[in-house]
Chains A and B, each alone.
Chain A
């Protein structure tokens, strides 16, 4: 039923590894093969295997410090792997880096520019490193990024959000096959986030493969078609976004007497199905149970103030558990519990 593949967490040999998500006929634009990077005693990326297929808007999810940026640096040749390799647009990295970079554009960490140069001159300078760029093309990408009216001002005066958008603009210059964006919405205001997500969706619709790194689960859910979840340098889950998380419905309930309401609801849904969260009672149940829920509460004389379907509730819990918010526990164990929960809920 589920196609999302949970990576086995123990030091399993290749034969024990669950089968990879295949691209079902589509070419693999970006693949990593047992990609590993060690910094001193820190194993930042641990035997990473993943595949991004042509046309994907691929979400690369993980908490801060999961190793997302390290993976991107490895894939784009900024750092050298301890072992393993990546394959980018048919070119092996390391080894055929120049070939790979001719088909890829994007940025790692925050996009950076020469502060005393105008936006236009920055684009011209960066673009000319890949190939000739026309003035019209520069205007075009500035227009797409919504920066045309600031094209001739110094980038040094740009806000963080404008630099993020200029980072996307420079990536678009040569219409690359694959665009890699490292947390492009970080530090943006809600309006800016919405614009950038819209832009990414449009890119995907136009056939460009987008590799979107993010620590925001809902962002990946909104924008991406497939995703992996990374934690401590390992893939925890990979698969189509719609199947990444359990179909875990929840309803938030606010009443005049939360204590009595909790007792009533626990009688209906069991003790484990009712949790408290920021003043609300969170009931693990679908919307179809709401009429019955309200009927019982009212019958017990409890004033119901609000009943809100909250599917994200389960999502956030799921993400937190997968990425092991608890550092005290051995990493493998807490992740395994996450997987168990994921698989258990599905059945």
Chain B
């Protein structure tokens, strides 16, 4: 259009632009730091409590690996993750993602950013990626905090697998990192779920409650043996499968099933969120 020649160069191939913007928005919210602080506090508190009590819970009691912490700090990150994964991490994931669209609608900024020439599709994808990056930083805090506090309180020693074999410290740390990546993948489902609710409603609290209720209802439903046939299809069913990393050899089948389930749910939910966002009438 020569009559409407643009003085603005087209922004193409600058994928980091939207990511950087979403990341800055996250960093300019106080709640972001609250969640990170909570995540860092958990490994510290786990270490401190067990150190002061002088004894952990008995084996087969409490979250996985907790009973092993006393003799070996290497188990602190894993015990922390086990404590966080069933509830706190899904909450954190939902909180971040539910705010992504609905929070901007509440703030009113959705209507001003959508006046800029940015595709809604790329906006929703960058919001998903940034929510995952945010969680990844949180996971890193739990992991690093666990290693540091565990090392300080109990020392880092070779780990014993669930099969009874012994792993060097480096090998153990590598496996622990894999476990954390698995946990992050699990949380991608919660991010996608909350993002979907975030697109549907204009209230971030409603989106958060929607995602958390869905998660809790699924958890309860698959706990009944009557609904056992549903279990393989539900992502929360696979949240705790990471213990299979600590068999020797690694028992890959449940892990891969879990990853496949996470990928399918994440993609499906995010795709629906994208479709709805593209057609959404922004009236906020």
Contacts and interface: CB of A to CB of B under 8 A. Distances in A.
Given A98-B119, A102-B8, A174-B7, A112 B108 contact: yes
A77 B120 CA distance: 11
Contacts of B3: 27, 90
A128 B111 contact: no
Given A90-B1, A102-B6, A125-B21, A78 B118 contact: no
Contacts of A167: 112
Nearest to B281: A79
Interface string A82-116: 00000001110000011101111111111111111
A89 B1 contact: yes
Interface residues of B, dominant DSSP: loop
A70 to B, nearest CB: 9
Contact of A112 (B1, B6, B111, B281): B111
B283 A126 contact: no
A129 interface: yes
Q: For this complex, into which size category does the number of interface residues on chain A fall?
A: 35 or more
B100 to A, nearest CB: 14
Nearest to A110: B108
B117 A130 contact: yes
A117 to B, nearest CB: 5
A130 B1 CA distance: 18
A73 B283 contact: yes
A131 interface: yes
Contacts of A73: 111, 281-283
Q: For this complex, into which size category does the number of interface residues on chain B fall?
A: 20 to 34
B109 interface: yes
A103 B4 contact: yes
B216 interface: no
Interface of B: 1, 3-4, 6-11, 17, 21, 24-25, 28-30, 107-109, 111-119, 279, 281-283
Interface of A: 27, 73, 76-80, 89-91, 97-99, 101-117, 121, 125-126, 128-132, 167, 170, 174-175, 177
26 contacts: A27-B3, A27-B4, A78-B111, A78-B282, A78-B283, A89-B1, A91-B1, A91-B4, A98-B117, A99-B1, A101-B115, A101-B116, A101-B117, A102-B6, A111-B112, A116-B30, A117-B24, A126-B116, A128-B17, A129-B17, A129-B118, A130-B116, A130-B117, A131-B11, A132-B9, A170-B112
Shortest 5 CB-CB contacts between residues of A and residues of B: A112-B108, A129-B116, A79-B281, A90-B1, A101-B117
